Amino acid sequence: MADRYLSFTATAPGRFLTRRLGLPQPAALHRWSPGRPSLDGDVLHLTAGTSVLGDGLAEVLARTGLAVRTAVHPAAAVRGEAGAGRPAAVVLDATGVADVDALAEVHAALHPVVRSVAHSGRVVVLGSPPDPADHHQAAVQQGLEGFTRSLGKEIGRGRTVTLLRVVTAAAAESTLRFLLSPRSAYVSGQVIGVGGGEVTAPEDWSRPLAGRTALVTGAARGIGEAVAGTLARDGARVVCLDVPAAREDLERVAGRLGGEALALDMTAPDAGAVIASALPGGLDVLVHNAGVTRDRRLVNMSAERWSSVLDVNLASVLRTTDELLAAGTLRRGGRIVATASIAGLAGNAGQTNYAASKAGVVGLVRSLAPRALAEHGVTVNAVAPGFIETRMTAAVPLFIREAGRRMNSLGQGGLPVDVAETTAWFASPGSGAVNGQVVRVCGQSLLGA
């Protein structure tokens, strides 16, 4: 369903009226398309304190395809911006910030330039993991989280702000490419950790999944269909899975993508064995997207409503993940990406069953990720969508739907492709140092952290 309010605010009368009434003024977001695959402008590279990344960061930024200009001093940054136009992105290296005085340099660096960032632009703050042995460093690095979340809520104009905690620049290349591109249009206010492990850069960053096989559950429609399409765009052979009742739509999606259809109920006791037998050559990417809702307040919720949601959204995910890992179906270097929800992080009235299941997905990711990587060479991450424009949300009553759209820093609902792009970043072979992360795709929803 079209967002008429977003369209109205793009007109001169709409801008005037919403400004006078103090109403949200969402900006149309620049999402990836073949004709416009990059941000419009260059990257301004700033440093607060003394970087711990050395020259590696400059080398990685140079490989993103965007022109990079560097300014060590804020005044130089302002002069550079004035001479070169509005930057599409600002990357602030604050990895060496270890005390309160150095934290002040974050303000000094961004204060003169943040207003100049282009519409639909990016601010990426690079921090270091808080050091449990140094409470001063841990305090100020944690302070960067509050800083970036707050900046994301005030920056406006379709811009996003993200904190990326890194150990080495090389390990963060896939994530920086994602954040400094239109693919991350609906990801803001997030804190993403990137470890220091070895990564395998794809031969072709435009088709990073070439030669890989991906299985997407719930692929017949909505977010699952968008995920399957995006993985196929990135070069993957895609196996599309959904319930037998959705076979017609499933085969249509698989046929359009040149993939394969697998009609299967994920709650079936033998689902893992059926998947393994359907993929004798193995699997590189497993996307757990299938999910259902059966909303009622707890006092009105039957046991059947409770168990049906938990069976699909959590029990089947746990069971098939265990079976596919044990069977060796997921090859080393593989990726598991599960779909959580902001309901699982913040709760939602009438969704105790759904929120429990999606919070369970978060628990799965955080517990399994280190073991899966150590024992199987597989990473485990999750996307947590907020209000996404689908047929399901189109059926929500008008005022509730409008509240869902506006209650985030970008002032609008997301699209299925926003979840798909985040999933594709997790799935990339270059994202091997991204593990155990739960990233909200919600435009920085005002619900939850």
Dihedral Cα 8, 11, 15, 21, nearest 10 deg: -40
pLDDT of residue 84: 56
pLDDT of residue 177: 98
CA 438 from centroid of its chain's CA atoms: 8
pLDDT of residue 80: 46
Bridge partners, residue 441, by sequence: 385
pLDDT of residue 262: 98
pLDDT of residue 237: 98
pLDDT of residue 42: 97
Sign of CA dihedral 181, 182, 188, 192: negative
pLDDT of residue 73: 55
CATH node for 213-441: 3.40.50.720
What pTM was computed for the model?
0.95
Q: Which residue intervals of the chain bear CATH 3.40.50.720?
A: 41-193, 213-441
Strands lying side by side in the sheet with 330-339: 260-263, 237-242, 213-217, 283-288, 330-339, 379-385, 438-441
Residue 186: name the closest of 355, 28, 391 by CA: 28
Q: Which residues of the chain have pLDDT under 50?
A: 77, 79-83
pLDDT tens figures, 194-246: 998 778 999 999 999 999 999 999 999 999 999 999 999 999 999 999 999 99
Parallel/antiparallel/unpaired status of strands 379-385 and 438-441: parallel
CB 122 within 8 A of CB 160: yes
**Catalytic one of 354, 387, 425, 426:** 354
pLDDT of residue 394: 73
pLDDT of residue 449: 57
Active site residue 5: no
CATH among 3.40.50.720, 3.40.630.10, 1.10.3260.10, 3.30.360.10 for 41-193: 3.40.50.720
